[in-house]
Amino acid sequence: MKRLEYRGYDSSGIALLENGKLNIYKKKGKVTDLESELKEKKLPATIGIGHTRWATHGEPNDVNAHPHYSNNRRLSIIHNGIIENYAAIKQNLIGKGHQFLSDTDTEVLIHFIEDVQKETGASLEAAVRLALKEVVGAYAIVVMSVDHPGQLIAARKGSPLVIGVGENEYFLASDATPIVEYTKDVVYLDDYEVAVISEGKLSIQHLESTTETIPYIQKLEMELETIEKGGYDHFMIKEIFEQPRSIADSMRGRLRADDAHLQLGGLNDYLDKLAQSDRVVIVGCGTSWHAGLVAEYLFEELARINVEVEYASEFRYRNPVIKENDIVIAISQSGETADTLAAIELAKSKGATIFGVCNVVGSSIARATHAGAYTHAGPEIGVASTKAFTAQVTVLTLMAIALAKRKGTISEETYRQLLIELETIPAKVEKVFENAAKIKEIAFIFTYARNFIYLGRGFNFPVALEGALKLKEISYIHAEGYPAAEMKHGPIALIDEDMPVVFLATKDSSYEKIVSNIQEVKARKGRVIAIVTEGDTLIPGMVDFVIEVPDTHEILTPLVSVIPLQLLSYYIAVMRGRNVDQPRNLAKSVTVE
């Protein structure tokens, strides 16, 4: 459960079958709070379920924490997702005498399963199936019964569920992170599948069928040390410093600059279709959306193809114009983002070809798309994405270059130059870390700021957005990112001597313009932190603080310019006493709408 806390940490609980009784223990707060509560108790159980929560229905407290009992307290459930029609089901059950203790939709579901079993006389497995056919929404559930002490029943729709297969033991989790410590053999449940673990055997069937499916066992590639802190104070700083390796891993086997080799296996069969398409639509949420904005610049600059970048949550609720010749690229770190999955299904229904960019092997998005590319960034435990962003941008850059080469929209010389430059990026990111102490000093000065503005142009505009998001997420300081030229159209009214302004001011085609924007801020007494290209002699004389990054090709700038912003956010948040790995109200994988 501790390994799953990055998915939610408002409250936690466990249900155990102990000496013929079904006992639930739960507590508001983190898993350590529950652990402290139970440390003096003897818990003689060999089967149990547990949950760490990100609140949807009902505030975080002891009562709303999972697991939940059924009305007769003979069943218990844990649940990720949202049951949308819970209110109508709840009213019906109240009419039958059911009493509810919590405000959650999850408690309604286990009461409903009990009611179905009582009304139909069906087995527990059949009752779970019948109940799930009536509910609307998303779920990954595990049900346990005092009457079936050797059985667990699990099911999923729209929310991930993984089964670890050990020696005479099974593990169920919302991702593989906690399982790898015990076994590397896993089964990923598909939507509408029901799994029954009973008497040491695993049985999987489709919700609408009684025909048993042969489990497809996959081997996990991750190693245990990748999900440990490894001596760092936080996962976030560990993952920031892992970026030279994660960027290199994103290119490994795909890029060899010495013989001008570039090949993405997942793209091969669709490269011609992509080259013949008139439009690419990119969908994502949060940091993945920012990576998509960088990709918009990349694809349009290199491959000369029209690109639109959409928030997945808005795209799915519009009636977007999607044609069969369109390519939709879906970006997600976890591969489980509910809004992005829904956007994929909408685009597929309109005949578009869907390409996925995600980090987690076997994830829902990886299986829902026609083709794709894994970022190979390794597990990212910190809730605020860092290495996921640079890995996504790396893979999207490879895609844009490969497409441009196929279309003939870049010269052979430019193609080779870009491959050579890409191979140097890990070393250049490593060089940025030499400024960590200086960035920490700057962070100390601005620890007590209440607002920040981030400004950039061109390829650095999405980086400004990402920098502002990082600061908001983990320090709780209000921050906004803007295109630098838009500042004078409104945000300049906010500038005074108390307003820190971070400029992405590397030497590129917009350099002279960004210099003018800096002067506009300084004329209004703003305090400027500038991210500049190594060796810049002009901007350091104009601003309050300078952070240098190595010179690189303009289209690759985001891969190095984002690093100081990640470090700045981290150090400010730590100095403000924030929990940077588990910031309030957030969860790593947003698997609900």
Q: Which residue, 526, 388, 592, is CA-closest to 470?
A: 388
CA angle 347, 351, 354 (to 5 degrees): 55
Residues 48 and 38: beta-carbon distance below 8 Å: no
Q: Over the range 515-525, which residues count as b (16 or more CB within 10 Å of their CB) and which as e?
A: eebbeebbeee
DSSP secondary structure string, 398-443? HHHHHHHHHHT-S-HHHHHHHHHHHHHHHHHHHHHGGGHHHHHHHH
Cα 197 to Cα 375, 404, 578: the distances in Å are 33, 50, 41
DSSP letters, 280-323, are EEEEE-THHHHHHHHHHHHIIIII--EEEEEEHHHHTTS-----
How far is 272 from 513, CA to CA, in rounded Å?
A: 38
Q: Are strands 478-483 and 500-505 parallel, antiparallel or unpaired?
A: unpaired
Task: Give the DSSP H/E element, type plus range, for residue 188.
Answer: strand 185-188
Using left for φ > 0, alpha for ψ between -120 and 50, and beta otherwise, residue 353 falls in beta
Here the tokens at position 297 are 């610049």
d(CA 377, CA 344): 23
Report DSSP state, residue 370: S
Q: Which of 499, 511, 501 is nearest to 565 (CA)?
A: 501
Catalytic residue set: 588
| 320 and 293 Cβ atoms separated by less than 8 Å | no
DSSP per-residue string spanning 476-516: --EEEEEEGGGGGGTGGGG-STT-EEEEEE-SSTTHHHHHH
Residue found by looking up tokens 């806390």 in the block? 5
Asked whether 204 and 197 are in contact (CB, 8 A), the reply is: no
User: Kind of pairing, strands 327-332 and 279-284?
Assistant: parallel
Question: For residue 38, how many other CB atoms are within 10 A of its CB?
Answer: 13
